[in-house]
C-alpha cells in the first residue's frame, strides 16, 4: 500500500469510521477524496471493483487503489525533474534519463573501459552518475525504457543545447557538470568539445528525430508530455532585479534560444502528444532551488507545470 500525506489522513479517518461500524461515513470519506470532478468516475470504478472482493473493506481498498501512484519515465533535465519535485505522492519515477540526448541515444556504443565504472571516485561517488554516464557510452537507454513498465513519459529538450563531446568516433552529451567529473578528466585529451549544430546538419537532425519519434510512438503511444523550455538571457536576483545570465555571452544565449525553439516547434508539429508550454511566461530566477541559470525558472512555473501534469495524466 502506497500512502502519501493526503492519503494518510483520509485512510485514518476511514479506519476509525469502519471500526465504529459507520460504513456509510467511510464511503462518504472515500468519495470526498476525489477533489476534482473528473476524479469522481475513477473513485466510483475503484469502489465497485473492490465491492466484489471485500464489501466491508471496499472503501479502504478503493482508497488505496485511487491513490496508487502513476509511474512515469523522465527523459530530460532539471526542468522536468523540478516540476515532479512538487509532487506529494501521486507519481513515482520508473527511469530518469539524464544528460543523454535522444540525438545520440540510438547510435552505436562508444568504446570505453567498463571497469572504470566500478571506481565511484571518478563519478563523485554517485551510483546515479555512473548509471547515466554508462548508458551514454553503451547507447542502451531506449532498451532500458522498454522495460520500465511506465505508461507515461515526461520529456524536455534541454540536452539539445548542451555541449557535445566527440570521443572514439561517437558523441556524448557533456555539459560543464559532466566535464567536471573524474572520468572525463581522464579522457579529456582524446575528446573534442563541440555542439549539436556543429556536428549534425538540419537534415541529419531531422533523420534522428524520425528515429526518436518512431520509438516514442511505439513505446508510449500518445501518453507523452512534452515540456517546452525557453532560454533566458537575464534572471531575477534576490532583490528581484534583472541581471544578465552569468557564464555565457549574450550572443551564445540568443543562439541557444533560437536553436532550442526551432527544434521544439519541429517536434511539436511532428508528434501527437500533450504539451506544457509555460516557460516563456516566466523569468529565470536566482531563488530557484538550483540557482540562477538560463532554464531555472520562477517557482510558479514548477507549480503550474505540476498541476498540468495532474490534469493530463489523471484524466486519462
pLDDT, tens only, 206-237: 999 999 999 999 999 999 999 999 999 999 99
Q: What's residue 194's pLDDT?
A: 96
Residue 150 pLDDT greater than 70, yes or no? yes
Q: Which domains does the chain show, CATH number per domain? A: 5-67 (no CATH), 70-314 (3.40.50)
Q: What's residue 2's pLDDT?
A: 54
132-156 in b/e burial notation, b at 16+ Cβ within 10 A?
bbbbbbebebbebbeeeebebbbbb
d(CA 56, CA 22): 10
> Rounded to the nearest 5 degrees, what angle is found at the Cα of 60, between the Cα atoms of 54 and 66?
110
Please list the residues that pair with 235 across neighbouring strands: 243, 284
Side-chain half-sphere exposure of 77, counting CA atoms within 13 A? 23
Nearest of 307, 308, 289 to residue 299 by alpha carbon: 289
Query: Per this entry, what is the length of the chain?
Result: 316
Q: What's residue 41's pLDDT?
A: 84
Residue 85 pLDDT greater than 70, yes or no? yes
Average pLDDT, the chain: 94
Segment 41-69 mean pLDDT = 89
State the helix-helix crossing angle for 202-220 and 250-270, rounded to 10 degrees.
50
Q: Which of 81-95, 122-136, 257-271 has the lowest mean pLDDT?
A: 81-95
d(CA 298, CA 293): 11
Q: What's residue 67's pLDDT?
A: 84
70-103 in b/e burial notation, b at 16+ Cβ within 10 A?
eebbbbbbbbbbbbbebbeebbebbbbbbbbbbb
Q: What's residue 3's pLDDT?
A: 59
pLDDT per residue over 2-38, tens digit each?
A: 556 668 888 899 999 999 999 999 999 999 888 777 7
In sequence order, the 6+-apart residues with CB closer than 8 A to the CB of 175 are 99, 162, 163
Q: How many CB atoms lie within 10 A of CB 65?
A: 16
pLDDT per residue over 153-170, tens digit each?
A: 999 999 999 999 999 999
Amino acid at each position: 500500500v502506497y500512502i502519501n500525506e493526503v492519503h494518510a489522513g483520509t485512510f485514518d479517518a476511514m479506519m476509525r469510521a469502519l471500526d465504529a461500524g459507520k460504513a456509510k461515513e467511510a464511503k462518504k470519506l472515500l468519495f470526498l477524496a476525489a477533489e476534482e470532478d473528473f476524479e469522481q468516475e475513477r473513485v466510483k470504478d475503484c469502489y465497485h471493483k473492490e465491492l466484489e472482493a471485500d464489501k466491508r473493506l471496499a472503501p479502504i481498498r478503493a482508497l488505496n487503489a485511487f491513490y496508487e501512484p502513476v509511474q512515469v519515465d523522465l527523459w530530460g533535465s532539471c526542468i522536468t525533474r523540478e516540476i515532479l519535485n512538487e509532487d506529494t505522492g501521486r507519481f513515482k519515477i520508473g527511469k530518469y534519463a539524464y544528460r543523454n540526448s535522444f540525438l545520440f541515444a540510438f547510435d552505436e556504443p562508444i568504446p570505453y573501459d567498463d571497469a572504470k565504472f566500478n571506481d565511484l571516485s571518478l563519478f563523485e561517488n554517485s551510483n546515479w552518475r555512473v548509471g547515466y554516464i554508462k548508458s551514454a557510452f553503451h547507447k542502451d537507454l531506449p532498451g532500458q525504457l522498454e522495460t520500465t513498465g511506465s505508461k507515461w513519459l515526461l520529456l524536455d529538450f534541454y540536452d539539445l543545447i548542451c555541449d557535445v563531446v566527440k570521443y572514439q568516433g561517437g558523441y556524448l552529451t557533456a555539459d560543464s557538470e559532466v566535464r567536471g567529473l573524474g572520468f572525463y578528466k581522464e579522457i579529456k585529451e582524446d575528446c573534442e568539445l563541440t555542439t549539436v549544430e556543429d556536428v549534425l546538419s538540419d537534415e541529419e537532425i531531422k533523420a534522428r528525430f524520425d528515429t526518436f519519434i518512431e520509438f516514442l510512438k511505439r513505446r508510449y503511444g500518445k501518453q507523452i508530455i512534452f515540456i517546452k523550455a525557453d532560454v533566458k538571457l537575464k534572471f531575477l536576483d534576490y532583490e528581484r532585479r534583472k541581471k544578465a545570465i552569468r557564464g555565457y555571452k549574450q550572443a551564445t544565449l540568443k543562439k541557444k534560444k533560437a536553436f532550442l525553439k526551432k527544434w521544439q516547434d519541429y517536434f511539436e508539429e511532428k508528434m501527437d502528444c500533450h504539451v506544457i508550454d509555460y516557460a516563456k511566461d516566466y523569468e529565470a530566477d536566482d531563488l530557484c532551488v538550483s540557482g540562477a541559470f538560463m532554464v531555472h525558472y520562477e517557482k510558479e512555473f514548477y507549480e503550474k507545470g505540476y498541476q498540468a501534469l495532474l490534469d493530463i495524466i489523471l484524466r486519462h
